Structure 1
Amino acid sequence: MRITLSVLKADIGSVGGHTLPSAAVLAKVKEVVEEAKGSLLLDAYVFHIGDDIVLLLSHTRGVAHPAIHELAWRAFREGTEVAKREGLYGAGQDLLKDAFTGNLHGLGPQVAEMEVEERPSEPFMVLAADKTEPGAFNLPLYLAFADPMYSSGLLLSPELRPGFRFRIMDLAQTERDSYIELDAPERLYDIAALLRDSHRFAIASIWSRKYGEVAAVVSTTRLRNIAGRYVGKDDPVALVRTQKIFPATEEFGPPFALAPFVAGDTRGSHHLPLMPVKANTPASTFFCVPMVCALGFSLKEGRLTGPVDLFADPVWDAVRAKVVEKAQEMRRQGFYGPAMLPMEELEYTGIAERLKELEQEFS
């Protein structure tokens, strides 16, 4: 049975600043989605990460179907109206247009979708991040799909040994989407050369070379390039299939435990480590530490079983404690060096404007 999984995410308003959506906003979004179950949708699940609301939808309409995207748009728009009535901060922040145009791409929300021939057992993960950049998943997914030091299945499993194909997007190309496809392990160094620059390049999808099956899809939209101004960081979402012909669910844990430094944080203009957190966690008041959650599901005939919160077991408490130390060390450096993003990546223009004024004083 061919099933489409769609993950759509947007920040449409939060309580007391950039924290979390209100109960009423979440309830309205869930209400709109629930009404579509049994007709447009086979199943759905709604949650939040920080102040972003995430919709997981299963259906048979295929990728980028207008009716599915319109449903998500309506849920976010009606949630925005509640946020405005409650006076929430940044109400409708990620909705960059006033009208739906048939597809959410280019309208602000993050979108990751895949159509699959459902396996007898179809486990998968939803990854959702807040306060970070579109390339935030570059290193964890590279390690899970291409590095046997982290993903032992690449050595132990005949299904994984032929490797995976990485489809990588150039985020600097604003006129049109621009991609390159590279095979691991043969092009491993080339893949690393691109993914190291998470400001410029981001994984769009990963495919099994042996079976031609999609393994992962990541939202790669850059809001700044759409809006032409700062509207919040890009906060990616991803769908990742696991087990059998893909890495095991537990093989994704160690790469995320590294908590790589990523762009984002307060005013979208700094570097801090990507912290694994439980789903439905408010954004951190410690300089908006970038966060990622991971929910595991099983799929049968389009029906969802789960989720299990993959970052909720006790081992992640120890990881989070180390991430806090890592974040504090970086913040002690304040505005200096790598603690703040390079000039071309700053989401606020205050420094650039100040430098233009100072240029007049040089002699």
Structure 2
Amino acid sequence: MATTISVCALPLGGVAGSVTVFPDVLQKASKVLKEAEGTVLTDSLVTHVADWLVFVMVHQEGGASPVIAALKDAAIKAATETSEKRRLLIRDEIPVLTGLSFTERESEAFVLFLAGAAAPQFWNPVLLAQFADPFTTKSLVGETKFVFCTEDASMFQMPQDLHRLITAAKTSAIIGVAADADTPAAAAAAGVVMLARAESPYPSTSELCGVFAKPKISPNGVLMPVSLCDGGNVASGIVPVVALGFSVANGKLSGPVDLFDNPAFAAARIFAGKISCR
């Protein structure tokens, strides 16, 4: 049976404004999801970036399950009650949702990218670099090719449709990448959340993360790859980006590994700090 990883993010429980999520809010949401493990869920995790509360739900209910939707709503309700009690910041935005359903490989690795900004085409340049640029992902030089899907349901086969995709990506968000119809590779939402499977036949974890080792500027600000503990929204013009690595086996998560907690990304962090001060 296919394993599904569903991710939900919403700006809820911000302390000191929109800096980060208050710990009690994380705990309340986590309790709701943990109580569902063994019945609805096989595993779960509650985390955050900036003031975005993030649920990771692992299950076998498929991608559009009313049961999972109800559980998500229950976790949001519990987190909201705590936020209101403490008068924490609750921004009026709809939840950001994405997910992947797949048959687990012998060793199934994936990376959850979280960004402290919501924008329709936020992940486009990242996904293009990871899954369409052979200078970033060496396996693209060989037989590995991916198909991109945009929010208007248009499909783009690499490498022959690369120029069309670059043009389309200026106005349309890339929401998914696949190796073929039955083999999803990545899924993205309107900023905030992106999931990518790692290791052969997909880009390696280092290739997925290596995109952020080079300075990147987006319309929302300069991207700064940071550890989870540094993912607060504290400087205007800087978008914190967190990468959490996992392995999953029989629906159970191992991880997360805080992938950007590494000096390899120090140069990108320094660049972001200098640019934001100008």
TM-score, normalized by the shorter chain, greater than 0.5? yes
How big is the shift at 1:219? Answer: 1.4
Pick the structure with greater CA Rg.
Answer: 1
Is the 1:9–1:111 contact (alpha carbons within 8 Å) kept by the matching residues of 2? yes
TM-score (norm 1): 0.73
How big is the shift at 1:290? Answer: 1.3
Show CA shifts across 1:298-357 (max 9, x none).
0110000111111111212232112212333xxx3xxxxxxxxxxxxxxxxxxxxxxxxx
- Change beyond 3 A, Cα 1:62–1:113: same
1:285 aligns to what SS in structure 2?
Answer: coil
Is 1:133 matched up with 2:119?
A: yes
* Number of positions where the alignment pairs a residue of Structure 1 with one of Structure 2: 278
Choose which of 194, 197, 202 in structure 2 pairs with 1:241.
197
Equivalent position of 2:183 in the other structure? 213
2: CA distance between counterparts of 1:37 and 1:280?
26
1: CA distance between counterparts of 2:127 and 2:231?
24
- Which has the larger strand fraction? 2
- Segments of structure 1 that go 5 or more residues without pairing to the other structure are 95-107, 170-177, 221-234, 265-271, 333-363
Alignment of 1:276-291 (within 5 A): 276-287=225-236, 289-291=238-240
Choose which of 172, 192, 198 in structure 1 pairs with 2:166.
192
Equivalent position of 1:122 in the other structure? 108
Equivalent position of 1:104 in the other structure? none
Choose which of 125, 129, 150 in structure 2 pairs with 1:168.
150
Is the 2:225–2:269 contact (alpha carbons within 8 Å) kept by the matching residues of 1? yes
1: CA distance between counterparts of 2:251 and 2:23?
28
Is the 1:276–1:292 contact (alpha carbons within 8 Å) kept by the matching residues of 2? yes
- Change beyond 3 A, Cα 1:327–1:288: closer
1: CA distance between counterparts of 2:59 and 2:275?
41
How big is the shift at 1:261? Answer: 2.1
1: CA distance between counterparts of 2:260 and 2:205?
12
TM-score (norm 2): 0.94
Equivalent position of 2:211 in the other structure? 255
CA root-mean-square deviation: 1.7
- What's the % identity of the aligned pairs? 30
2: CA distance between counterparts of 1:239 and 1:284?
21
Equivalent position of 1:327 in the other structure? 276
Equivalent position of 1:65 in the other structure? 65
2:254 aligns to what SS in structure 1?
Answer: strand
Equivalent position of 2:92 in the other structure? 93
The one-letter amino acid of 2:92's match is: Q
Show CA shifts across 1:18-41 (max 9, x none).
111111111111111111111110
The one-letter amino acid of 1:257's match is: A
Is the 2:126–2:211 contact (alpha carbons within 8 Å) kept by the matching residues of 1? yes
Is 1:204 matched up with 2:196?
A: no
2:5 aligns to what SS in structure 1?
Answer: strand
Is the 2:188–2:194 contact (alpha carbons within 8 Å) kept by the matching residues of 1? yes
